[in-house]
């Protein structure tokens, strides 16, 4: 089975990983404007888009943990708010 995944590499660049039978075969970083043509070429060779479920599960769990921490901090702040002078005065 031929598959590929895409990830943001860094600003203005995308990483495309090629996988064959569950094993990573190649990893290319390119400018975002090059990705569409590259994907058309590898799909013509039989590659199918896939998504790394483990990666997205980790990202979801990190986001959930950050949300819980932020919610706890907000609840604490609400109990002990900083008393600011009104800007209208």
- Report, as an integer, the average pLDDT of 84-89: 72
Q: Same structural domain for residues 36 and 72? A: no
Q: Are residues 15 and 45 located together in one domain of the fold?
A: yes
Domain total of the chain: 2
CB count within 10 Å of CB 2 equals: 15
Domain shared by 34 and 58, yes or no: no
Is the residue at 85 inside a domain?
no
Does residue 4 share a domain with residue 44? Answer: yes
- CA-to-CA distance for 82 and 55, rounded, in angstroms? 39
Q: Are residues 43 and 65 in the same domain?
A: no
pTM above 0.75, yes or no: no
**Confidence at 52, pLDDT banded by 50, 70, 90:** very high
Cα(18)–Cα(1) distance, rounded to whole angstroms? 11
Task: Give the structural domain span for 69.
Answer: 52-80
Which band of pLDDT confidence, cut at 50, 70 and 90, is reported for residue 87? Answer: low
Going by C-alpha positions, the residue among 16, 78, 9 that lies closest to residue 45 is 16
Q: Please give the C-alpha separations between residue 53 and each of 19, 59, 83, in angstroms, as whole numbers.
A: 14, 10, 46
């Amino acid at each position: 089975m031929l598959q590929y995944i895409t990830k943001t590499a860094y600003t203005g660049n995308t990483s495309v990983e090629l996988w064959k039978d569950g094993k990573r075969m190649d990893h290319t970083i390119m400018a975002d404007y090059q990705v569409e043509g590259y994907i058309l070429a590898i799909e013509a060779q039989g590659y199918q888009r896939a998504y790394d479920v483990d990666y997205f599960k980790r990202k979801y769990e990190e986001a959930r943990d950050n949300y819980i921490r932020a919610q706890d901090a907000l609840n604490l702040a609400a109990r002990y708010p900083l008393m600011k002078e009104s800007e209208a005065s």
